[in-house]
Amino acid sequence: MKRTPNIWSKHHGKDNFITEYPDYSMFTCVQKTAEKYPEYVALEFQNKKTTYSEMISQIELIAQSLLASGVKKGDYVSVVAPNTPQALNMVYAINRIGAIANMIHPLLSVNEIKQFAESVESVAILTFDLLYKKIAEIEWEIPHKPLMIIARIADALPFYSKSFYLMKNRLKLNFNPNHEIIYWNDFLRKGKARKADLAPDEGKGEDIAVILYSGGTTGIPKGVMLQNKAFNAIAVQSSEIKPFDVKERVGKKVLGLMPAFHGFGLAICMHMTLAEGGHLCLVPKFDYKACTRLIFKKKINHIYAVPALFETLCRSEEIEKSDLSFIDMVAISGDKCDKKLINRMNKYLEKGNSKARILEAYGQTESVSGVAINPFFAPKEDSTGIPFPDNEIKIVKIGTHEALPAWEDGEICVLSPTQMKGYYKNDKETARALQKHADGKNWLHTGDIGCMDEDGYIYFRQRYSRMIIVAGYNVYPTQIENIINTCENVNTSCVIGVTGKAGIPKIVAVVQPTSMDIDFDLLRKEILEVCEKNVADYAIPQEIVFREEMPKTAMGKVSFKKLTEEMENKKG
């Protein structure tokens, strides 16, 4: 399509050319890369390297195994797993046969995992032995119980470290007799035994590839339907904004820390890297100290992460004395980054002879995580930058389609080839998020507040939806409040984020009990127990405060803003 000149054209420097977005599957996108660079390293996990040709072979074997297990085009397969080769290859294998990957956070509560898997009627679920203990509690309430495919971290390790890992992590699983279970290696044998050849991949850009979960504008998690074209488009867009040419991107080592169940992780860290011929170093969990060691040991070239990783990096001994010239791309997303942290990290990069500087990005799951970035060639302080090529952003008066002038705060709206098709089986919320404007186009209403300057740079202000972000994880206060309010002695509650150590929000539940004469210790215990059963570990309140009255807004609602201010002042 022809790119129409706009306010951002002068920044991109290219205002009259054709941008082609691949009209095929995510798998084919990576397969084409493998045809160009078959012997280049695609994945590295715990020192075990896999070339592009090996990766494609593994994906096609998993695809055969899925077909041999009865999975077909259009089915949903849930992935409840950390960043491992099995999990990433499974996503592409699901895509290879035209099925849809339903990505579920493995740290969610039992009830949440059950809800998300059942909502799409998953026919199969990939998980890991270390996670199955929790999943074993699930009693399915859907017509066809999903096949449980259980992998092990050990299966992805080099031979020399596998035995040591198994000795250190002896695990005896108690299987739920109502679950149909198959271990990973037995699952692969089914694929090897399948007689029929794989049919050609006929996936199109319009096909739904992945379901990710987001709170959107309401704070209540919903399944975001993302198409092949969204992932492929963001890979093309991102390649245009990097400070080096195509040849230099091939073979670059990328930190695969952000999880595959997160848009930033799956789209930017993983798919973009593999579409470009990069070397993806997968990290299975958020261990920032281990990541810091890995960055220096492997000389990671591209780092995409949340602010907490850079806090750890800045406190490390290595960064004070190391040559950092190997780092040539650093981007932060998933959370607002403190200006002092950005300045500290940039000073270390400059001192270490790196040409990279931290770039802040802006996006949301509904547009596969990234729609704008503070450009390396002309960054502006406090800004999340300009839209990626072929994206448009406008600021509108809240509740309208009326565009606002420069520097006036309103709702951020996005038009992008990466935006979602809609929310799974939720037409009402889809209509709220995707709205047709006077230009006849469906704009994504993000629910975020921000403004734009005269040059088209975006300034993010706050999440309109009250969402709290803890180390890159989305925490939805309304969801937690609904759980807390089920306790008999709770009248109402309000969950807020209060600044904690290293600037990371601490989840605080402010509770109004039915009476101030009850035993608060017992009620606190009850609240924590109900949260542990229904809320992800990272979202469980770290502090519970009881008060007789709640501050109210003019509309009579509990004012979370006033509570947050009071708690911050009390902390200070």
Task: End-to-end CA distance of the chain: give it in Å, rounded.
Answer: 54
* Domain contains 336: no
φ, ψ of residue 544 in degrees (nearest 5):
-125, 120
CATH number of the domain bearing residue 482: 3.30.300.30
Q: Which mean pLDDT values do the consecutive 10-residue runs of the chain (572 residues) have? A: 66 57 95 98 95 98 98 98 96 98 93 95 96 93 94 81 63 87 97 94 97 75 95 85 59 92 92 95 85 92 85 84 91 71 90 91 90 86 88 94 94 95 96 96 92 93 73 78 89 87 82 92 95 90 93 66 86 60
Residue 155 is predicted with a pLDDT of 81
Residue 167 lies in a domain: yes
CATH number of the domain to which 147 belongs: 3.40.50.980
pLDDT at 462: 67
- In this structure, is residue 522 part of a structural domain? yes
Contact present, 243 and 376 (Cβ < 8 Å): yes
Query: Is 233 domain-assigned?
Result: no
Q: What are the φ/ψ torsions at residue 562 (nearest 5 degrees)?
A: -65, -40
pTM of the shown model: 0.83
Is position 69 within any domain? Answer: yes
Give the residue numbers spanning the domain of 543. 476-571
Which of 291, 338, 285 is CA-nearest to residue 319? 291
Quote the pLDDT of residue 163.
62
- Given a contact cutoff of 8 angstroms between Cβ atoms, the answer to whether 228 and 24 are in contact is yes
Q: What share of the chain is helix, strand, coil (3-state, %, to 5)?
A: 35, 25, 40
Q: Are 448 and 411 in contact (CB under 8 A)?
A: yes
Q: Are 527 and 490 in contact (CB under 8 A)?
A: yes
Regarding beta strands 41-45 and 48-51, do their DSSP bridges make them parallel or antiparallel, or are they unpaired? antiparallel
Partners of 373 in the beta sheet?
A: 361, 386
Q: What is the model's pLDDT at position 416?
A: 93
Q: Is position 42 within any domain?
A: no
Burial 276-301 (b: 16+ CB within 10 A, else e): bbbbbbbbbebebeebbebbbeeebb
Residue 438 lies in a domain: no
Q: Determine the pLDDT at residue 551.
A: 87
Asked whether the beta carbons of 94 and 101 are under 8 A apart, the reply is yes
Q: Which of 187, 203, 219 is the last residue of a domain?
A: 203
Which DSSP helix (H) or strand (E) runs through 494? strand 490-499
Residue 530, in any domain of the structure: yes
**Structural domains of the chain, count:** 2
Q: Nearest-CA neighbor of 222 among 490, 516, 432?
A: 432
Helices (H), 307-375: 307-315, 318-321, 339-351
Of 185, 203, 221, which marks where a domain is finished? 203
Of 164, 186, 203, the last residue of a domain is: 203
| Longest distance between any two alpha carbons in the chain, whole Å | 72
| Gap between the Cα atoms of 378 and 437, Å rounded | 31
